[in-house]
Amino acid sequence: MSSFYLNNLTDYNTAYEASVKNTEQFWDAIAKKNFLWKKRWSRVLEYDFSVPKIKWFEGAELNITENCIDRHLENNADKTAIIFEPNDPSSESEYITYKELQGRVNKFANVLKSKGVNKGDRVCIYLPMIPELAVSVLACARIGAIHSVVFAGFSSTALATRINDCDCKIVITSDGSYRGAKTIDLKGIVDEALESCPNVNSVLVAKRIHSNINMANGRDEWLEPLLNDASESCDATVMNAEDPLFILYTSGSTGKPKGMVHTTAGYMVYTAHTFKNIFQYQEDDVYWCTADIGWITGHSYIVYGPLLNGATTVMFEGVPNYPNYGRFWDIVQKHNINQFYTAPTAIRALAKQGDDFVNPYDLSSLKVLGTVGEPINDEAWHWYSTTIGKNKCPIVDTWWQTETGGILISPIPNCFSGKPTYATLPFVGIQPALMDENGNEILNTKAEGRLCIKFPWPSIARTIWGDHKRYKDTYFSAFANCYFTGDGALRDENGHYRITGRVDDVVIVSGHNLGTAPIEDAINEHRNIAESAIVGFPHDIKGNALYGFVTLKSESSESEIEVIKSEINALISKKIGPIAKLDKIQITKGLPKTRSGKIMRRILRKIAHKDTGNLGDISTLLNPDVVQSIIDNSLNK
Ligand code: 7RM
């Protein structure tokens, strides 16, 4: 564990400089030191962003599961690899050791083989957060099959689109799932999806809620008896460094979802190294990331990153508010969590409930707190730091994307600390740049622009499944020889980055470029505001004006609301300037969100533009009902 640990600012500065000066040599040393290879690479990096073509560790042979599991058995066979915390707090937690994990993964891999799954075949996994999800992901990797995990909150249409796009012939699912006090009929959703997936000929079903489900003859089989009969040993298939490991879909601003393809060796090296350093994971720590494995955060920082480091990683099946809003803190106390990683949306939702749900619990095990997924506003950052971290835990505001595979910009606790709302500095090997409207790099340290990355890192996605042209157009065409992130950022005088949000979140009001995130940030400090989203709408004089959608922490009377509205604009005037005042403020009972908790500003923008005829596909939203109520109460009818 000690090798290549960044322990102080000098470590970071030295490593960063080396990583930029001679990137290949830098990653070569890390890859040599920390992993199990069947064959070494002949070349560290070959790339050309104009094609685009990116290859890391070419010529190397390996299997990532030997690195996640087998190589820990010598010293840590009985160490807990995965703690499964079930939805129902009165059910037993499950502790899966590295040795047991090996047996379960191998059995699962043998079942897949018996179903005719070969190296390179795509396997769709549509499972709730139960151990079978991690096990099936690793089982695919064991035999070189490409896993395509679809978040089990997605609808049958979304599932069918993803199954067909990468032509999966097999689906792994469960009879159902628990979600707080509810159960969800997952198998029913799969059945519906498969009506439009003619190539799927096998469905393996894990038993979770013991519901009475339909099993299609010749197609559907229960997993349990198959696993019971399977052998516990399964040779790891030898993979080339650039063989695909998985596909994960991410929605674009237009068109169908993009199947981002991640490959084996580079992804392994980068997720392992970022996990170890950013979370400062120490032997015997217990780490918990609350994401779902259906998102990239779960792939990289529940499964691969932690297991590559021989860590103990928690998988939580439930939701933050069941049986009540103290559940997260109950789990932190129960398992003595040392590193806790969640999303701003969860932090805001929990902060809104007040500290009474936090105070009964002993959170003294916590050492590092992480956040990911959206810009974290000042208010939420402070609540997290004070109420959860008791002002003694560094916060790692980790900026990255499905496409980047791992964290690119983040504080590193022992090296430099965070600053509210700033993701701070690039990780070693990462070369960010800010671009101006004309496509030129802004060289001043203090600047604001579009965020690009100038040089490849090992875990960058290599293509979009079946559409390399779209990969090129989306990421490598806006700026020459750079990866364009789609995000805007500002850089302070110390070179620290603050991500301001997707660049389409910029509104030009009377000729002033206003990022909506800092305005949201300003008003979220209001004592009665839970969340807000600000978008532009056309205005005769200003060109555009600002429309704020705001949810309150508590019910308020009409007269109170009038006061709040004027306080909102007073706050904005004070923090940003009168130019950023909102023309319209609509109090809503919720904001439309993606399943991973990102506010869907695209929909609010349409509402503000009176363009609600075609809202696009809102079926994958967390809360589609809220959309109609926002439309009904819109101030722009
Ligand atoms: C990991 C993940 C990617 C987009 C990204 C940003 C936003 C993520 C942060 C953030 C500000 C952060 N992958 N984003 N992390 N914005 N600060 N720390 O979320 O593919 O689902 O989303 O999320 O806009 O481009 S993702």
pLDDT tens digits, one per residue of 4-17: 689 899 999 999 99
pLDDT tens, 434-454?
A: 999 888 999 999 999 999 999
Nearest-atom number in ligand 1 for the CA of 371 is 18
pLDDT at 541: 79
Q: How far apart are CA 354 and CA 528, in angstroms?
A: 12
Q: Is the CB of 397 under 6 A from ligand 1?
A: yes
* Distance between CA atoms of residues 525 and 380, nearest Å: 9
- Ligand 1 atom closest to 399 (CA): 18
613 pLDDT higher than 90: no
CA of 502 relative to ligand 1 center, distance in Å? 9
Distance 400 CA to ligand 1 centre (A): 5
Sign of CA dihedral 322, 323, 326, 331: negative
Q: Kind of pairing, strands 202-206 and 170-174?
A: parallel
* pLDDT the model gives residue 380: 92
Cα(402) to centroid of ligand 1, in Å? 8
Tokens standing for 272?
Answer: 């392992």
Please, are residues 595 and 623 in contact by the beta-carbon 8 Å criterion?
Answer: no
Answer whether 250 contacts ligand 1 (Cβ < 6 A): yes
Q: Which residue type occupies 459?
A: S
Q: Which of 150-154, 295-299, 326-330 has the lowest mean pLDDT?
A: 150-154
Whether the CB of 341 sits within 6 Å of ligand 1: no
* Cα-Cα end-to-end distance for the chain: 60
Distance 309 CA to ligand 1 centre (A): 24
Predicted confidence band at 229 (pLDDT cuts at 50, 70, 90)?
very high
Which of 296, 401, 422, 594 has most ligand 1 atoms within 8 Å of CB, for mutation? 401
Q: What is the mean pLDDT of the chain?
A: 94
Average pLDDT on 547-570 reads: 94
125, containing H or E segment = strand 122-125
Whether residue 487 has its Cβ less than 6 Å from ligand 1: yes
Residue among 371, 460, 487 whose CB has most ligand 1 atoms within 8 A, to mutate: 487
Count of CB atoms within 10 A of residue 557's CB? 8
pLDDT band at 62 (very low <50, low <70, confident <90, very high): very high
Mean local confidence (pLDDT), 216-221: 97
The 3 state secondary structure assigned to 54-87 is EEEEECCEECHHHHHCHHHHHHHCCCEEEEEECC
* pLDDT in the model for residue 105: 98
Domain boundaries, the chain: 510-632
Residue of the CA atom closest to atom 23 of ligand 1: 373
Ranges 41-45, 190-194, 516-520, 612-616: which has the least confidence: 612-616
Lookup: tokens for 624: 């589609």
Residue 381 in contact with ligand 1 by CB distance below 6 A: no
Tokens read off for 551: 């949810």
Q: Is the CB of 457 under 6 A from ligand 1?
A: no
- pLDDT on residue 513: 64
> What residues contact 415, with CB distance under 8 A and at least 6 apart?
6, 7, 8, 9, 11, 12
d(CA 370, CA 413): 11
d(CA 190, CA 175): 10
Quote the pLDDT of residue 575: 79
Beta bridge partners of 371: 342, 397
Omega cis (within 30) before 52: yes
Residue 257 confidence (pLDDT) above 90? no
Find out whether the beta carbon of 409 lies less than 6 Å from any atom of ligand 1.
Answer: no
The preferred substitution site among 371, 374, 506 for testing ligand 1, maximizing ligand atoms within 8 Å of CB, is 374
Q: Give the C-alpha separation, 124 to 382, whole Å.
A: 40
CA 237 to centroid of ligand 1, rounded, Å: 33
Tokens read off for 195 = 């009506």
Contact at 8 Å (CB) between 231 and 195? no
CA distances from 89 to 48, 292, 336 (A): 51, 18, 16
Tens of pLDDT along 96-127?
999 999 999 999 999 999 999 999 999 999 99
Q: Compute how many other C-beta atoms are within 10 angstroms of the C-beta atom of residue 451.
A: 25
Please tell me the predicted confidence (pLDDT) of residue 503: 79
CB 434 within 8 A of CB 448: yes
In angstroms and rounded to an integer, the radius of gyration of the C-alpha atoms of the chain is: 24
Residue whose CA is at the smallest distance from ligand 1 atom 19: 373
Hey, what are 580's tokens? Answer: 């950023």
Residues sharing a CB contact under 8 Å with residue 398, sequence separation 6 or more, in sequence order: 278, 341, 370, 371, 372, 407, 409, 410, 423
Closest CA to 147 of 32, 296, 308: 296
Least confident of 17-26, 208-217, 536-545: 536-545
Q: Is CATH 3.40.50.10860 correct for 510-632?
A: no
Please check the confidence at residue 255 and state whether its pLDDT lies above 70: no
Match 């999800």 to its residue by tokens: 133
Asked if residue 220 has its Cβ within 6 Å of ligand 1, the reply is no
**Ligand 1 near 532 CB (within 6 A):** no
Check whether 518 has a pLDDT greater than 80: no
347: Cβ below 6 Å to ligand 1? no
pLDDT higher than 80, residue 251: no
Predicted confidence at residue 2, as pLDDT, reads 42
182-184 and 177-179 beta bridge pairing:
antiparallel
Q: What is the mean predicted confidence (pLDDT) over 83-100?
A: 98
192-216 residue pLDDT tens = 999 999 999 999 999 999 999 999 9
Q: Would you say the C-alpha torsion 505, 501, 419, 448 has a positive or negative sign? A: negative
Determine the pLDDT at residue 97: 98
Cβ of 395 closer than 6 Å to ligand 1, yes or no, is no
- The sheet that has 483-491: what strands, in order across it? 432-435, 447-453, 483-491, 497-502
Q: Is the dihedral of CA 453, 455, 457, 459 positive or negative?
A: positive
Using alpha carbons, select from 105, 140, 148 the residue that is nearest to residue 124.
148
